[in-house]
A and B are shown apart, each in its own frame.
Chain A
Amino acid sequence: MTVFQFGAPSWMISPIVLPLTAGLLCFLFSHKTFTIALAAALANLLAVCFLTCQLLIFGPMRCHMGGWQPPLGITLRTDGPALLMLLMTAVTGLAITLYARGYFTYRIADPRQPVRHQRQQRYFWPLWMLLLAGLNGLFLSNDIFNLYITLELIGISAASLAALSGKPASQLASFRYLMVSLLGSLTYLLGIVFLYRSCGVLDLDVLRNFTAGGPGMRAALALMSVGLLLKTALFPLHFWLPPAHANALAPVSAILSALVVKGSFYLLFRFWFEVFASIITIPALNFMGVLGAVAILWGAVQAMRQQRLKLMVAYSTVSQLGYLFIAFPLARVDGGAQVWSIVIFMALAHACAKSAMFMAAGTVFLHLGHDRIKDLSGVRSSLPITVFAYGIAGVSLMGLPPSGGFIAKWLMLTSSLASSQWWWALVIMVGSLLASIYVFRVMSRFFVIPEGFAFKKPEPLSPLLEWPALALALISLFLGLAASWPLYILATGSTSLAQIFPGGLP
């Protein structure tokens, strides 16, 4: 049968269908939900690895849904950037799945409110699986309206997950998150309307051929960008992010911070540098860069001022998202090929480091019962693995060698100097300095031994609570040492990059 051949493009649907089915089954059955979810996460990782092999051998592929060709039908496609994002989602997702199991088991064992925690676990799995399916669908899809539906899928499940903890603060934040997410997707939809009106097609490959531009396409791109920026929480539109991420349950915070914002960012980046690259102007690129620079500094300053660990980590997300946008004005160097590696590296390193950090914060919280930074002393002796994971993740956020964050920042620095835009380099360095301040501020509390501290044998924590965070932190660290692999995948997939920018950007 042709379907099961190694080179068949229909394998592409497995990262979507597997978590989707798992989500439905998790909702249907009340027992064994963790087993189903874990099986789906593992199978998803396997499928993505399989797709990577396929990509390395056969190059980029397209899969037409239902056999209908592009102008009418929906197309999925794999290429280097998409596969790296899928790999990021699969690896982080597997770690988060394991961590969530440990987290919920620990909390259900707490005799005070077992029913409530059981309910949280009961509904976490289907929501998380459907979110995973939505993310995979987003990275694979090549149809602009299909992307809208995956965005809605992600937005609704993310908002429901954010409200799961049941506290008033988290529900208020989640309501605001839902409204912002709706506003974002409606603006995006308005952009689709303008686009359909001027071009009459929805497929991204066909849209790329409309190089003439015109005011309709510009307006469409502007509207879609604003919608996606709202969902990505770039600086002036970031107001919803810290409360929503900091008040959620720890595994949910990890999902939201590491994966959900990356989805809309990836889309935005793809629009700017692939589909509509012909109508992008330099002032627009610089504008995004300026917003990114302000986000880096503002987020870092806010992170330094926070009193609670999870809020600090959430503001650090605002800051780190800024780096992704600083890459925009750097695209003028060497035909824009560099900018893809910068952004993908940054996204990979941040996803691993930030989810590790949120997991570590969650474990500290479970252990102490609070996350006030000033009362964190003595944690090192009771949770050494978690503190180690936090430290390594912090190294990656600061961008010290040999972490993945270092490679990304190094690429940024070299490109900004090569294109004689030294001011971006300055912002990057100051941002790293501020990051090291807020990371070390917490680190130093961990190592302080308070007066009269009697070391007692800590109650043993489940390994699921500590090891996934450490694994992710180590991945983010060694991403820098194995930098050639992602770059190789990226280069394989985007052979068409040279065609997109024949003579460099405008």
Chain B
Amino acid sequence: MSRTRNRHKRLDGFQRLLLLLIICLITLLCTILWTIPGNTPGLADAVARLQELSGVESPVTAVLLNFRGYDTMLEVMVLLLAVIGAWSLTRAPFSEQMKNTSPVLMGVVRLLAPLMCLVASYLVWQGSHLAGGAFQGGAIFGAAGVLMLVAELPWLRVTPARLLRIGLVLGPLLFVGVALFCLFLTGDLMGYPEGAASWLILIIEAACAISIGLTLASLFAGGRPAGEAREKYNPASQTCDEEGRP
């Protein structure tokens, strides 16, 4: 092992050059960072001034879902895109093993998973005035899902494909829907009508948290819904030079 490590650590000429180059660049960037005066105001004051109009008390949630809600809308799409990409890549459906679930693990899961869902819902609700929100809540939903998958509970497999898709799209679609709804009411995309901002934000956050949780769990499972046909592997088609035709 030590022999391989030695060989591994030795850098060849190109790597040494690269290392030198990167060190120089990083040093340069460090000096530039040093010289930038640290007194640029940023947008803190602007946020503090408009905080009351945003409908939520937490400044981060106000920025995420109100002032720069359009960013967040596109970002939810990025998450969904990852699932679409993952499903387009895999040939096999979700794995179907349901063999040796130990009772201890099952007990832990039975205790933990509802608790995590509870914490996640609390985080989503808390997001309006303290740290928390759709992403944190969704992440914990996702973690609960992953825990159940690790315990080999086949919940993703038994969920009908259509339902899973609806759950995944729910958050993004609702986000776009609310944005358009606000457009018709106030004339601005995502310009929440007065007084309704906090409710609309909470609805968006709840829907997004569910979708994000499902997204993360299905990314972990790394397969496709079972409803779609399974493909046969044909090596003859893969060895030919292009696109499945010999």
Contacts and interface: CB of A to CB of B under 8 A. Distances in A.
B is bound to A: yes
Interface of A: 1-3, 8, 10, 13, 17, 20-21, 23-24, 27-28, 63-68, 71-74, 107, 110, 112-113, 115-120, 122-124, 126-127, 130, 133-134, 137, 145-146, 149-150, 152-153, 156-157, 159-160, 163-168, 171, 194, 196-202, 214-216, 218-219, 249, 308, 310, 365-366, 369-372
Interface stretch (B29-37, B108-116, B144-152): B29-37
A194 B33 CA distance: 8
Contacts of B81: 127, 130, 153, 156-157, 160
Nearest to B88: A123
Interface string B184-198: 101111111000000
What are the 7 closest A-B residue pairs judged by CB atoms, nearest first? A160-B85, A123-B88, A200-B40, A67-B188, A67-B191, A216-B36, A66-B190
Contacts of A164: 88
Nearest to B41: A200
B12 interface: no
Contact of A216 (B32, B66, B69, B244): B32
A3 B88 contact: no
A119 B228 contact: yes
A78 to B, nearest CB: 15
A370 B245 CA distance: 8
Contacts of B220: none
B69 A2 contact: no
Contacts of A156: 78, 81-82, 85
Given A27-B165, A215-B32, A216-B36, A21 B190 contact: no
A160 B89 contact: yes
Contacts of A64: 188
Of listed A118, A160, A201, residue having the most chain B CB within 10 A? A160
B172 A200 contact: no
Nearest to A126: B84
Contacts of B159: none
29 contacts: A21-B176, A23-B77, A28-B169, A63-B189, A67-B186, A71-B43, A107-B244, A115-B229, A115-B230, A119-B231, A120-B88, A123-B88, A124-B88, A127-B81, A130-B80, A146-B74, A149-B74, A149-B75, A156-B81, A160-B85, A160-B89, A165-B243, A167-B238, A215-B32, A218-B32, A310-B242, A365-B242, A369-B242, A370-B241
Contacts of B229: 115, 118
A66 B77 contact: no
Interface residues of B, number: 65
Of listed B29, B190, B243, B244, residue having the most chain A CB within 10 A? B243
Contact of A116 (B80, B166, B231): B231
B36 A198 contact: yes
Contacts of A146: 68, 70-71, 74
B15 interface: no
Given A17-B189, A74-B71, 10 more contacts: A20-B176, A27-B80, A65-B68, A65-B69, A65-B190, A66-B190, A119-B88, A127-B85, A194-B36, A202-B43
B125 interface: no
Nearest to B82: A156
Contacts of B234: 112-113
A137 B179 CA distance: 16
A215 B85 contact: no
Interface in B83-136: 84-85, 87-89, 91
A8 B187 contact: yes
B74 A73 contact: no
